[in-house]
Amino acid sequence: MATNEAVSPTSKAKVPLLDYVQEDHHHHHVARRVWVESKKLWHIAGPAIFSRITSYARLVITQAFAGHLGDLELAAISIVINVILGFDIGLLLGMASALETLCGQAFGAKKFYLLGVYLQRSWIVLSMCCVLLLPILLFASPILKLMGQPSDLAELSGVVALWVIPIHFSYAFQFPLWRFLQCQLKPGVIAWMSLVALIVHVLVCWLFVYKLEAGVIGTAATMNISWLVLNLGLMFYCVCGGCPLTWTGFSMEAFSGLWEFVKLSAASGVMLCLENWYYRILILMTGNLENAKIAVDALSICMAINGWEMMIPLSFFAATGVRVANELGAGNGKGAKFATTVSVLTSTIIGVVICVLYMLFHNQIGYLFSSSKLVLDQVNELSLLLVFTILLNSVQPVLSGVAVGSGWQSYVAYINLGCYYLIGLPLGFLMGWVFHRGVMGIWAGMIFGGTATQTLILAFITIRCNWDTEAMKANLLLRKLEDQI
């Protein structure tokens, strides 16, 4: 407990953002309260949007450079990024979201030293998970062949997979660092370092591909460099004085209470993986339709548009989780409820605006991806479903953020399993094959059967939530974990 004593009441009072988190809402006019909460929300969500877009851009740029090498090289890089690393990102990012619960609540309760301990615990747990997942990269070629991929593509993808092993392990450090900084309201650091990593990535890609002519191996290697730059930058900031209250050095206390941390991390990982895999299954199911090429191309375009748009609600997912956790940790249940309301309304309004813009310009947007009339016609047919998807995705991630901030991950994992895989997938199969509605039937069944049902259940739970009770539970959890140190 020495680390706790090192943080004096005087040092606590000097934290500029604590009053920002703890500000009493009760004496403000409603409009003023909404304005104050919106500033807190956008303080996290704005940099988070930028960070997510730049991270997504690094992967897209890698694919673009690989595309200039040849079709096989592009396909190999795409499989490694979208399938292998996509699986990694879904699981590890989900597991790291446990820090949004614990670090967010600890920061709200002003138990600053706990954040550093939780960060190190997350590094340990995620690193162990990376070791367990390592065979997927080591044996990528035979795995891809078993999945029916052509031999030449599977072989090249397997070689590329070996070169991204450093990225695989870097996720175990990057994702917890992001949560650690976001929970203490320092997302700007992540945004600036993401920009530096993007610039480095473009320069290194150009050097390796065009000057050194390192081929697809060089393209894969460039990702390691940019991810290393990002991780080292964030690490140096944290350990070299950027977080004086929350980082007090490496500690053996990180190895205590690991089992409780593993359980929450596993629940978080399952919760988000079930969502992440759901939409990947949508593309796989479409690929099994007769004459699937046009349908897959059109659906891929819709998913690409949805993927870029999702950077916004996913950033609100992170911001909402932090805001709710901060307020619950501070014992302010009403503040958590108000933060939830403002976040849902803000994200929904943005989603409605994006839907209107898409409906006005959907023909022009389609031409950015394809010039095939058959593909564009199919995209137009899917436009209405894409609009419904965007609207649902404006609400659903925010409600998931509430769940993360409140520590409901295990419950939501069961909800996701039931809604997505026991309702959505069977309904999609029924609409697509039994009723012969093709890709529209599959997507409609999965959206209205799975995503809409899950959103309604989460909304019901959130509306009926007793926030004062949740605040008490948060403080009980903090005391329990504190006693284990």
Q: What confidence tier does 33 reach under pLDDT thresholds 50, 70, 90?
A: confident
- Under the phi-then-psi rule, with left for phi > 0, alpha for psi from -120 to 50, and beta for the rest, what region is 241? left
**Residue 264 pLDDT > 90:** no
Query: What pLDDT does residue 9 have?
Result: 37
pLDDT at 16: 41
Q: Which residue has the higher pLDDT, 439 or 22?
A: 439
- Summarize pLDDT for 299-345 with one digit per residue, the tens: 777 877 887 788 888 889 989 999 999 999 988 999 999 999 999 99
In angstroms, the CA 109 to CA 104 distance is 9
> 22-31, 34-43, 143-152 — which is least confidently predicted?
22-31
Distance of alpha carbon 461 from alpha carbon 445, whole angstroms = 23
DSSP string, 393-460: HHHHHHHHHHHHHHT-HHHHHHHHIIIIIIIIHHHHHIIIIIS--HHHHHHHHHIIIIIHHHHHHHHH
Q: Give the per-residue pLDDT at 189.
A: 93
pLDDT digits over 179-191, tens only? Answer: 999 998 898 999 9
Q: Tell me, what's the pLDDT at 32?
A: 87
Q: What is the per-residue pLDDT across 452-464, written as a single tens digit (0 to 9) for each?
A: 999 999 999 999 9
> Where does the pLDDT of residue 423 fall: very low under 50, low under 70, confident under 90, or very high at 90 and above?
very high
Provide, rounded to the nearest whole percent, the portion of the chain with pLDDT above 90. Answer: 28
Could you tell me which residues come within 8 angstroms of residue 436 by beta carbon, excluding any fewer than 6 positions away? none
DSSP type of residue 246: T
* Predicted pLDDT at 10: 38
pLDDT digits (tens, 9 = 90+) for 339-369: 999 999 999 999 999 999 888 887 777 776 6
Residue listed under structure tokens 């409600």: 399
Mean pLDDT of the chain: 83
The average pLDDT across 360-382 equals: 78
CA 272-264-193 angle, 5° bins: 65
Q: How many residues does the chain have?
A: 485
**Cβ pair 109, 128 in contact under 8 A:** no
Look at residue 7 and tell me whether its pLDDT is greater than 80.
no
Which residues are CB-contacts of 316 (< 8 A; sequence separation ≥ 6)? Answer: 41, 45, 343, 346, 347, 397, 398, 401
| Exposure string over 246-259, b if 16+ CB within 10 A, otherwise e | bbbeeeebbeebee
Q: What integer pLDDT is reported at residue 21 of this predicted model?
A: 43
d(CA 331, CA 327): 6
Say how far residue 361 (Cα) sits from the centre of its chain: 28
Interval 397-422 mean pLDDT:
89
Question: Token pair of 131, please?
Answer: 């070791």
pLDDT tens-digit series, residues 125-135: 999 999 999 99
Amino acid 292: pLDDT: 61
pLDDT tens, position by position, 197-244: 999 999 998 888 888 877 888 888 888 898 899 999 999 999 888 999
Q: How confident is the model at residue 14 (pLDDT cuts 50, 70, 90)?
A: very low
Residue 81: which pLDDT band, with cuts at 50, 70 and 90?
A: confident
Cα 369 from Cα 115, distance rounded (Å) = 44
> Which tops the pLDDT comparison, 41 or 278?
41
Q: What are phi and psi of 68, to 5 degrees?
A: -80, -10
Give the DSSP H or E segment for 483: helix 467-483
245 in Cβ contact with 4 (< 8 Å): no
Q: Which residues contact 388 (CB under 8 A, 6 or more apart)?
A: 447, 448
Q: Mean pLDDT over residues 115-134, rounded?
A: 92
Q: What was the pLDDT predicted at 288?
A: 65
Check if the beta carbon of residue 398 is closer than 8 Å to that of residue 249: no
pLDDT on residue 352: 93
Residue 23 predicted with pLDDT over 50:
no
H or E segment at 284?
helix 258-287
